[in-house]
């Protein structure tokens, strides 16, 4: 700092006209900025690592221990074991990690004053939201689809020893395995919409967990005639239809359920975009 | 030169509370314009409206003829330092600037140049969460300068700076204005503005109180008040009072004379054989002038408690 005082004439480096006319805001540049934002916070790495590790971590542990215990398991336990769904059940933890990351990416800007620096740089505002959604859903898709596939093959490798494995060529299997990645991608978009509406990290995570986890639990307490009609339309139940083998009256068909779930995310993001334009930052 | 920032009948209400009330002003390039007012007068709200962070309830404000949000290269138009901690704590200083630079393709070379300029090169890779208020102000200033902006809007930039830093920022603001840029800087300290600004916009309770060159404000403010103590108060008073001279007596022997120098008073007294025991010229400080100007518009005034 002393050199500044010794030389009080402060010259701000100026730009040439060519340089100055090149510094326009574009969707591509805002996307780069949001990617850089995500990469430069430790919390993103931690939550994303948790999401990626939890699926194979839980899945392989279940497959490995089941394969080991198989001869000692009672017939009822064997009947309850689902060799496809159980090794993929790590998505339950992964969805929390992805949701928390999504809420933090947007609502975290409001806990300090970062959002004001962001919106002063991108005063049209909406490119910021779309860039955040684009970056996080792309990241989730390209990491979680392969993670689910790898988890499937390793888990089934262990289960094959006991001849209880399912194979990739079995009907519905690719849809269910890849569905884990697709479901988590929509979770990211939905959570980002919630975070943008709530604008508070703790509140956003609370709302997200409430909608994804708590709502189905509360709804399951409804009388069955009501429950069968309502429960399947709840966001997480609808989305998880993509990962179920059979559909009966109490669940939506896989793709229909997934589209309903994606619809919730779209509604949340549209609401978020309207509020982002309207509200003072 | 024509004005760069033009506010027309700006109004901002939060529910019942009116933060900015029918504010019209213009800010010209090439000089430092001080935005002066007590805390809560509406300075920050006005600045946020200029860069489109808050929407006015009514009225409009333009930068270079257009609302800020309509500029294609906003960071080249306006650099704003609105709060020292417009950051996410987990990020390093350099990454914070890189993130903002990326929105419009500003090079990392320029980011490094600016980190050097504001004196943060040594701590560029440190998390900004650990920064002092002064370091935060320097980082905010670097962010404001990223796009080589034609206009700078700085909200209380000297807050938290040490004396060296305050001196440095005064030089910087004057140099930026000398380069032909438009500089709007807010403060609640008249003394700070007297040293930095060329022109003053004084606001209180969201209203414009004065729009004057600093030099004129100082001249108006420093009207002489002379305290006189004399045993012949009544006679002297009659001799002094006139169209442009105002005399008040706090007690029979003490007069406060406004509108006449101590020399003139002394001469008149001598010519009329009036004994003076005390003759003190008292120049109102800038701070006092500012206080008297904004007194009626203070938002939070201490209420006087009277005991029976």
Question: Averaged in consecutive runs of 10 residues, what is the pLDDT profile of chain B (308 residues)?
Answer: 87 93 96 92 95 96 95 95 88 97 95 95 94 93 95 93 91 94 92 89 91 82 78 87 76 82 88 90 71 61 51
Q: Is the Cβ pair B88, A41 closer than 8 Å? A: yes
Is A10's pLDDT higher than 70?
no
Check A122 against B176: CB less than 8 A apart.
no
Give residue A9's pLDDT: 55
Residue A159 lies in a domain: yes
Nearest to A208 by CA among A135, A107, A100, A134: A100
Q: How far is B278 from chain A (nearest CA, A)?
A: 46
- Cβ atoms < 10 Å from Cβ of B267: 11
Cβ(B138)–Cβ(B162) below 8 Å: no
**Hey, is the C-beta of B52 within 8 angstroms of any chain A C-beta?**
yes
Rounded CA separation B23/B7 (Å): 7
Q: Map residue B121 onto helix, strand or coil.
A: helix
Q: In the structure encoding, which two tokens stand for residue A247, read together?
A: 């559909």
Segment A80-109 shows an average pLDDT of: 96
Chain B residues in contact with A20 (beta carbon < 8 A): 73, 76, 147-148
Asked if the C-beta of A18 comes within 8 angstroms of chain B's C-beta atoms, the answer is no
Going from N- to C-terminal start, the domains of chain B cover: 5-212, 223-283
**Interface check A33 vs B, CB under 8 A:** yes
pLDDT at A7: 46
**A281 near B CB under 8 A:** yes
Sign, CA dihedral B102-B108-B113-B119, equals: positive
For residues A144 and A152, the answer to whether their CB atoms sit within 8 Å is: no
Bigger pLDDT: A39 vs B39: A39
CA distance B279 to B262: 7
**A26 close contact with B: CB closer than 8 A:** yes
Contact between A51 and B184 (Cβ < 8 Å): no
State phi, psi for B277 to the nearest 5 degrees. -100, -20
CB pairs under 8 A between A and B: 149
Q: Which of residues 107-146 of A touch B (CB under 8 A)?
A: 108-109, 112-114, 116-125
**Residue B177 contacts A where some CB pair is shorter than 8 Å:** no
Nearest chain A residue to B110 by CA: give it: A13
Give, for B213, the enclosing helix (H) or strand (E): strand B207-213
Lay out the sheet containing B5-14: strands in order across. Answer: B17-27, B5-14, B58-63
CB atoms within 10 A of CB A170: 12
- The domain of A103 spans 41-278
CB A244 within 8 A of CB A258: no
Q: Which residue has the higher pLDDT, A33 or A220?
A: A33
**Longest alpha-carbon distance in chain B:** 80
| Residues of chain A positioned with their CB less than 8 A from the CB of B91 | 37, 40-41
Write down the pLDDT at residue A226.
Answer: 85
Residue B26: CB atoms within 10 A of its CB come to 15
Which pair of tokens denotes residue B300?
Answer: 């939070």
Confidence of residue A237 (pLDDT cuts 50, 70, 90): very high
Q: Looking at CA atoms only, how far is residue A225 from chain B in angstroms?
A: 46
pLDDT value of residue B223: 62
What's the mean pLDDT in A43-59?
Answer: 97
User: How confident is the model at residue B290, as a pLDDT?
Assistant: 74
* Interface predicted TM-score (ipTM) of this complex, two decimals: 0.91
Specify the pLDDT at position B303. Answer: 52
Is the distance from CB of A31 to CB of A123 less than 8 angstroms?
Answer: no
The residue with tokens 């001249």 is B219
Query: To probe the interface with A, which of B10, B50, B68, B99 has the most A CB atoms within 10 Å?
Result: B99
* pLDDT of A191 above 70: yes
- pLDDT above 80 (res A222): yes
Q: Is residue A20 assigned to a domain?
A: no
C-alpha span between B197 and B192 (Å, rounded): 8
In a domain, A15, yes or no: no
Residues 131-170 of B with CB under 8 A from A: 143, 145, 147-148, 164-165, 167-168
Place of tokens 């900015």: B20
Rounded to whole angstroms, how far apart are CA atoms A241 and A232? 8
Spatial neighbors of A92 by CB under 8 A, at least 6 apart, are none
| Smallest CA–CA distance from A113 into chain B, residue | B86
Give the closest residue to A279 by CA, choosing from A180, A203, A164, A198: A198
**Closest partner CB to A121 (pick from B91, B100, B117):** B100
- Rounded CA separation B146/B82 (Å): 15
- The reported pLDDT for the residue numbered B34 is 95
- Written in H, E and C, the secondary structure of chain A is CHHHHHCCCCCCCCCCHHHHHHCCCCHHHHHHHHHHHHHCCHHHHHHHHHHHHHHHHHHHHHHHHHHHHHHHCCHHHHHHCCCCCHHHCCHHHHHHHHHHHHHHHHHHHHHCCHHHHHHHHCCCCHHHHHHHHHHHHHHHHHHHHHHHHHHHHHHHHHHHCCCCCCCCCCCCHHHHHHHHHHHHHHHHHHHHHHHHHHCCHHHHHHHHHHHHHHHHHHHCCCCHHHHHHHHHHCHHHHHHHHHCCCCCCCCCCHHHHHHHHHHHHHHHHHHHHHHHHHCCC
What's the fold here for domain B223-283?
A: Alpha-Beta Plaits (3.30.70)
* Number of helices and strands in chain B (H, E): 11, 13
CB B254 within 8 A of CB B170: no
Q: How many other β-carbons are positioned within 10 Å of the β-carbon of residue A277?
A: 12
Q: Does position A248 have pLDDT exceeding 80, yes or no? A: no
CA B14, B15, B21: angle at the middle one, nearest 5?
50
Rg (CA), chain B: 24
Q: How far apart are CA B143 and CA A8, in angstroms?
A: 20
Chain B interface test: which of A115, A123, A201, A274 (most B C-beta within 10 Å): A123
What digits encode the pLDDT tens for the residues A69-78? 999 999 999 9
Nearest to B106 among A8, A23, A116 (CB): A23
| Residue from A5, A121, A129 whose CB has the most chain B CBs within 10 Å, to mutate | A121
pLDDT reading at A5 higher than 50: no
Asked whether the beta carbons of B186 and B169 are under 8 A apart, the reply is no
Q: Which residues contact B37 (CB under 8 A, 6 or more apart)?
A: B43, B186, B188, B202, B203, B204, B209, B294, B297
Number of other CB atoms surrounding residue B123 within 10 Å:
18
Looking at the domain assignment, is residue A176 inside a domain? yes
CB contacts under 8 A, A 261-280 vs B, are 278, 280
**Collapsed DSSP state (helix, strand, coil) of residue B235:** helix
Chain-wide mean pLDDT for chain A?
A: 93
Q: Are B2 and B39 in contact (CB under 8 A)?
A: no
Q: In total, how many domains does chain A have?
A: 1
Instruction: Return the pLDDT at B258.
Output: 79
Contact B103 A13 (CB under 8 A): no
Residue A32 lies in a domain: no
Contacts of A11 in chain B (CB under 8 A): 175
Specify the pLDDT at position B292.
67
Closest residue to A29, CB basis, from B86, B102, B167: B102
Compute the nearest-CA separation of A47 from chain B (Å): 14
Single out the residue of B19, B70, B55, B45 nearest to residue B153, CA to CA.
B45
Chain A CB contacts of B87 below 8 Å: 112-114, 117
Q: What is the band of A96 on the pLDDT scale with cuts at 50, 70, 90?
A: very high
What confidence tier does A234 reach under pLDDT thresholds 50, 70, 90?
very high
Tell whether the model's pLDDT for residue A2 goes beyond 70: no
Q: Residue A152 domain-assigned?
A: yes
Superfamily holding B5-212: P-loop containing nucleotide triphosphate hydrolases (3.40.50.300)
Q: Tell me, what's the pLDDT at A1? A: 43
């Amino acid at each position: 700092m002393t050199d500044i005082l010794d030389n009080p004439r402060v010259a701000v480096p100026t730009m040439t006209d060519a340089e100055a006319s090149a510094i326009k805001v574009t969707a591509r540049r805002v996307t780069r900025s949001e990617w850089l934002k995500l990469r430069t916070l430790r919390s993103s790495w931690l939550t994303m690592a948790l999401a990626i590790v939890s699926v194979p971590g839980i899945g392989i542990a279940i497959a490995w221990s089941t394969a080991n215990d198989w001869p000692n398991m009672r017939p009822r336990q064997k009947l309850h074991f689902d060799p496809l769904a159980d090794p993929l059940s790590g998505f339950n933890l992964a969805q929390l990690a992805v949701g928390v990351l999504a809420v933090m990416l947007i609502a975290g800007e409001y806990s300090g004053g970062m959002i004001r620096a962001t919106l002063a740089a991108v005063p049209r505002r909406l490119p910021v939201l779309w860039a955040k959604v684009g970056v996080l859903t792309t990241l989730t898709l390209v990491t979680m689809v392969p993670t689910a596939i790898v988890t499937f093959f390793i888990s089934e490798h262990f289960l094959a020893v006991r001849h209880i494995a399912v194979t990739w060529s079995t009907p519905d299997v690719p849809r269910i395995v890849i569905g884990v990645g697709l479901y988590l991608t929509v979770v990211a978009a939905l959570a980002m919409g919630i975070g943008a509406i709530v604008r508070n990290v703790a509140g956003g995570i609370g709302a997200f967990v409430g909608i994804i986890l708590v709502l189905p639990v509360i709804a399951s307490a409804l009388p069955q005639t009501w429950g069968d009609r309502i429960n399947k339309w709840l966001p997480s139940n609808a989305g998880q239809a993509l990962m179920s083998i059979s559909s009966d009256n109490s669940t939506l068909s896989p793709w229909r359920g997934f589209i309903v779930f994606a619809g919730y995310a779209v509604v949340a993001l549209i609401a978020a975009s309207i509020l982002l334009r309207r509200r003072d930052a | 030169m024509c004005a760069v920032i033009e506010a027309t009948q700006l109004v901002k209400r939060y529910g019942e509370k009116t933060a900015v009330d029918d504010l019209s002003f213009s800010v010209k390039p090439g000089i430092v314009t001080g935005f002066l007012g007590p805390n809560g007068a509406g300075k920050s709200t006005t600045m946020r409206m200029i860069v489109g962070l808050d929407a006015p309830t009514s009225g409009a404000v333009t930068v270079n003829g257009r609302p800020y949000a309509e500029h294609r290269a906003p960071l080249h138009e306006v650099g704003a330092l609105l709060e020292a901690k417009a950051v996410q704590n987990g990020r390093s200083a350099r990454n914070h600037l890189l993130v903002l630079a990326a929105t419009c393709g500003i090079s990392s070379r320029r980011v490094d140049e600016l980190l050097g300029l504001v004196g943060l090169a040594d701590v560029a890779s440190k998390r900004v969460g650990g920064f002092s208020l002064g370091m935060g102000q320097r980082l905010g200033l670097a962010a404001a300068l990223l796009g080589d902006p034609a206009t700078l809007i700085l909200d209380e930039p000297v807050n938290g700076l040490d004396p060296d830093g305050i001196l440095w920022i005064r030089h910087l603001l004057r140099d930026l204005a000398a380069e032909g840029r438009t500089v709007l800087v807010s403060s609640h300290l008249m003394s700070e503005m007297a040293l930095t600004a060329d022109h003053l916009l004084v606001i209180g309770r969201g209203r414009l109180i004065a729009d004057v060159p600093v030099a004129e404000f100082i001249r108006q403010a420093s009207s002489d008040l002379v305290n006189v103590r004399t045993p012949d108060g009544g006679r002297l008073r009659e001799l002094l009072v006139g169209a442009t001279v105002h005399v008040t007596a706090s007690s029979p022997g003490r007069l406060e004379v406004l509108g006449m120098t101590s020399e003139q008073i002394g001469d008149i007294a001598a010519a009329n054989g009036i004994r003076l025991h005390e003759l003190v010229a008292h120049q109102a400080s800038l701070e006092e002038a500012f206080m008297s100007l904004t007194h009626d518009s203070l938002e939070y005034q201490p209420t006087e408690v009277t005991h029976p």
